[in-house]
Amino acid sequence: MLEADNLIFSYRRRELPVLDRVSLQVKPGERVGIFSPSGSGKTTLLKLLSGYLLPQGGKVLADGKPLPRSGFCPVQMVWQHPERAVNSRLTMGKILAEGGKTDPRLEALFGIEVDWKRRYPEELSGGELQRFCIVRALGEGTRYLLADEITAMLDMITQAQVWNALLEEMERRQIGLVAVSHSRELLEQVCTRVVGLEELSYSGVKR
């Protein structure tokens, strides 16, 4: 189980925290959608859950253990802007290999073509890049996946393709998902549980 316990985080000291005592539990295979308007701290919460940021209060546990400081992190995050999440000077094949052993089955599932791997990031579209980022984050050690508006830049058909592939893989490996979006319809389609960010927070209604 991925647990967040009373997380407190603020970007500047002596200011109202962005996240005030936020708690969340995600079981393996469960898919939680978090819905809230932009600028309310969704991405910050995901960064805390995956260890990119450290909370000023509270703790994050993945399967009972704190997140590792180094080495492969069992909680992986897929970022909102794929073009910033890849190094523009590496070929896509090398970028994919960053996530460990590459799995041809997974690549086929997400519709990654062999020819794309020889190209550089700027020679692919945002949607194509995002598929690489998702596959890269689905390495063998990944137990929980955090999706930060991962399909916001895609058209409807591609969105459906990407999500179908993702759901299939998560079902198979019993990976837990936290998806964040400002589109409630999308979250209701793909998630088993949808909550507003303010419901997770202690200070709740005040926000």
Partner 1 sequence: MKNNKQRQAAVFFSAALLFLAMVTAAGVLCREAALETDFSRKNLAPCREYWFGTDCMGRDMFARTLAGLSMSIRIGLCTAGVSACLALLLGVAAAVMGKAADRVISFLIDTIMGIPHLLLLILISYALGKGFLGVAAGVALTHWPSLTRVIRGEVLQLKNSEFYQISRKLGWGRGQAAARHMLPHLVPQFTVGLILMFPHAILHESSITFLGFGLSAKQPAIGVILSESMRYLITGQWWLALFPGIMLVITVLLFDRAGNALRGLLEPMENREGVYG
Closest to partner 1 by CB, 20 vs 107, is 107
* Nearest distance in Å: CB 119, partner 1: 10
Rounded distance between C-alpha atoms, residue 196 and residue 30, angstroms:
17
Say which residue the tokens 């991925």 belong to.
2
Q: Is 100 helix (H, G, I), strand (E, B) or coil?
A: coil
Q: How far apart are CA 189 and CA 50, in angstroms?
A: 24
Question: Least separation, in Å, of the C-beta of 75 and partner 1?
Answer: 9
* Contact present, 1 and 52 (Cβ < 8 Å): no
At its nearest, how many Å lie between partner 1 and the CB of residue 80? 10
Whole-number minimum distance, CB 192 to partner 1, in Å? 25
Rounded least distance, CB 166 to partner 1, Å: 18
Q: How far apart are CA 19 and CA 202, in angstroms?
A: 9
Distance of CA 162 to the CA centre of its chain: 14
Q: In terms of CB distance, is 26 or 187 closer to partner 1?
A: 26
Closer to partner 1 at the Cβ: 55 or 99?
Answer: 99
Query: Which one, 34 or 133, has the nearer CB to partner 1?
Result: 133
Binding site for partner 1 (CB under 8 A): 50-52, 70-73, 76-77, 79, 81, 84-90, 98-100, 122-123, 136-137, 139, 141
> Which residue, 156, 148, 150, is CA-closest to 131?
150
Cβ 68 to partner 1 shortest distance, Å? 9
Determine the Cα–Cα distance for residues 65 and 43; give it in Å rounded to an integer.
22
By beta-carbon proximity to partner 1, the closer residue of 35 and 79 is 79
Nearer to partner 1, 34 or 73 (CB): 73
Output the six-digit token pair for 92: 């896509």
Beta-sheet pairing, 144-148 with 176-181: parallel
How far is it, in rounded angstroms, from Cα 202 to Cα 15?
A: 17
